[in-house]
Structure 1
Amino acid sequence: MPLRLSRRALSLGLLASSALCALPVAAQPATPIKFVLDWKLQGIHAWYYLAQDRGYFDQEKLAVTIDQGDGSAATVTKIMAGAYQAGFGDVNAIVQNAVARPGQAPVMVYMLYNRAPFALILKSDSPVRQPRDLEGRTLGTPAGGAAARMFPVIAARAGIDAAKVKWTNVAPNLQEQMLLKGHVDGSAVFSVTSYMNLVAQGVDPDKDIRWMHYGDYGVELYGNGVMVSQQLIKDKPEAVAGLVRAVNRAVRDTIADPDAAIAALARREPLLNKALEKRRLAYTLKTIMLTPEVAAQGLGDVSDARFARGFLQLKEAFDLPQVPTAAEVFDRRFLPPAAERKVSAR
């Protein structure tokens, strides 16, 4: 005898089936990424927080937590130690670590500083008018400062007898003060930090200070960018690509609307001087980010030929036994299409 279902039983079954179909499909879990900056919060970090506020990381299914840092080179060692999967730091520190510990150094995937922000600063009334005038002068530097370490590269190209230049160690937070008070003739600095330190001390860095940017004297180094661990590339290449896409979108947004980016930064640090940090951001964009090379090839990329020449300069300055290949240090596979990275020079 055939089985007959009552109208009530059939209705209940259809309702149950509909309810099951209506259950949401489990969302793909976001990939957690611990990201470390190169320093305390500054205008040059605004795009990371703008990416958070505008949901760019969420759209890439990334759960990015951002911590402040304590040095561009320290970003590299923190990633190598496994404390972070990604960060904002110095590509030249990657090169040095790639030589010392092959296969363990992080890889740069998005270059932000097209020129290394190394410079010498002097008072505008200084008798030092050109690099050769530095002979017989005293320059200040923090112990182990990268700008001082790269000085021999300038010396070789400008015909300076480096042995005739004296160096004295100064605390990082006193570099500008030591110069202004006449305790040193000049100081080797990280330009984007020193520029605003001078502003904060009531000095006009454009009128009261003479700048010798290393990039103007034959130093071909790149600077800071987004780097990731080799493990993240191996295990989650799609997460690396998503991270780069999100940062690239936020950088372009920042260039278009710096006030919005600084507002995102200030939401994390209410005591931040927004006007000062906006000026730092503008200075950084103008002097080391939006260069003719970037206008030609887009944000995030590098020139392989220039990269290789910069490696040789690092080998000279740091007495490295060898240098890595460009592919060991920089991986452009994760860059968005060139049209999405297009910007104009400043």
Structure 2
Amino acid sequence: MSALALTSQRVWRQALVAVSFTAASLGAAMAQSAPPASTTTPIKFVLDWKLQGVHAWYYLAQERGYFAQEKIALQIDTGDGSANTITKVMAGAYQAGFGDINAIVQNAATRPAGTVPVVVYMVYNRTPFAIMTKASSPIKTLKDLEGRTLGSPAGGAAMKMFPALAELNGIDASKVSWTHMAPNLQEQMLLTDQVAASAVFSVTSYLNLIGQRVDPDKDIRWFHYADHGIALYGNGIVVSPTLIKEQPQVVAGLVRAIHKGLRDAMANPDAAIEALARQEPLINKALEKRRLQYALQQLVVTPEVRRVGLGDLSDERLTKAIGQVQQAFELPRAPAVAEVFDRRFLPPLADRLP
């Protein structure tokens, strides 16, 4: 090969190297200057029960893109009990849900630290547990329950807490008998006098009675646990300890999105129920709107919430409630407030005042 050819070949190879180096450098520079790829976190969320008006704010938040704004792909599944929500999150089947803080207390009392879900946003500031009887009943005070037969599903939480209610109100719990039935028969068995009273979840029974053409305000006498010394809170947004530890920013985003949905539902219940109806077209929209409004008035917006804001609670009251749960369920210890509730992810107070 001639000297000229060799020289040309070397020049060509050098040019190729230069081009390759320039392309690589340009690619690296572009990679550094380009925004990071958007990542969406999938979250499985389980409700406490079948779809009702009290779940409307989750679907309203979803339709309005609040979860998407937080880069969360939320899968919402129906549930089969607020205590079972805790079990499902604890088992790892779900990362979050709408469940009972009292079930968290029970689990935290017997399990290793850091293995039990915590509430990060309290929704039901008052416990929905209640005793209901017919307005025509001779039961006019809690003391009148002695010698009577009460109804409850087997293992019902309101029944389990009855001994604490009884002790606080001078009732001899040994003089009260219990009959168990399926949850959907509680109202019917009371109305047909098969039981003298029932221990119920008020937000469910109140609307079930309306569905049976009974006026729950005129035809039923209510004894709300919260009005008779029981300090318990109710359902809140629960998340797994793993999610809190590994993705705290996702927890904060989840709370923000749900809070926005709840505020929107309070401002426009009709829009919330329409969002729910698009998920379950067979619901009775008028009935579920009334359920939503009842829950907001009775359980969500309370004098305490007007002070501490939506989502938060009183540590002093929660400590008292934990003690009542410990006594009622004979738990080996009373968990600390921090083991069951974590307020670090709440939006600013100014955004949470009702």
Same fold (TM over 0.5): yes
Measure the CA separation in 1 of the matches of 2:34 and 2:202: 52
1:319 partnered with 2:330: yes
In structure 2, the partner of 1:258 is 269
Measure the CA separation in 2 of the matches of 1:319 and 1:342: 36
Query: What amino acid does structure 1 have at the position aligned with 2:134?
Result: K
In structure 1, the partner of 2:107 is 97
Tell whether the 8 Å contact from 2:110 to 2:332 is kept in structure 1 after alignment.
no
Give CA-to-partner distance per residue, 1:144-190, whole Å, 9 cap, x none.
11001111111111111111111111111100000000000000000
Give CA-to-partner distance per residue, 1:181-209, whole Å, 9 cap, x none.
00000000001111111111111111111
1:290 partnered with 2:291: no
Report SS of the residue matched to 2:276.
Answer: helix
In structure 2, the partner of 1:55 is 65
Query: What amino acid does structure 2 have at the position aligned with 1:334?
Result: F
TM-score, normalisation: structure 2: 0.90
Question: How many residues end up aligned between the 2 structures?
Answer: 329
Measure the CA separation in 1 of the matches of 2:36 and 2:245: 25
What's the CA shift for 1:102?
2.4
Identity %: 65
1:37 partnered with 2:47: yes
Measure the CA separation in 2 of the matches of 1:106 and 1:158: 32
| Partner residue of 2:154 out of 143, 156, 164 | 143
Report SS of the residue matched to 1:89.
Answer: strand
Q: Which runs of 5+ in 2 are unaligned?
A: 1-10, 12-21
Matches within 5 A, 1:13-162: 25-103=35-113, 104-162=115-173
Measure the CA separation in 2 of the matches of 1:25 and 1:111: 36
Report SS of the residue matched to 1:78.
Answer: helix
What's the CA shift for 1:52?
0.5
What's the CA shift for 1:26?
5.0
Tell whether the 8 Å contact from 2:53 to 2:292 is kept in structure 1 after alignment.
yes
TM-score, normalisation: structure 1: 0.92
Measure the CA separation in 2 of the matches of 1:46 and 1:180: 29
1:211 partnered with 2:252: no
What's the CA shift for 1:24?
7.0
Report SS of the residue matched to 2:92.
Answer: coil
1:174 partnered with 2:162: no
What's the CA shift for 1:99?
1.2
Give CA-to-partner distance per residue, 1:26-67, whole Å, 9 cap, x none.
532111110000000000001110111011001111111100
RMSD: 1.8
Measure the CA separation in 1 of the matches of 2:203 and 2:109: 28
Measure the CA separation in 2 of the matches of 1:274 and 1:27: 41
Report SS of the residue matched to 1:332.
Answer: coil
Give CA-to-partner distance per residue, 1:97-135, whole Å, 9 cap, x none.
111212311010000000110000100101111111111
Report SS of the residue matched to 2:221.
Answer: strand
Report SS of the residue matched to 2:50.
Answer: coil
Larger Rg computed on CA atoms: 2
In structure 2, the partner of 1:188 is 199
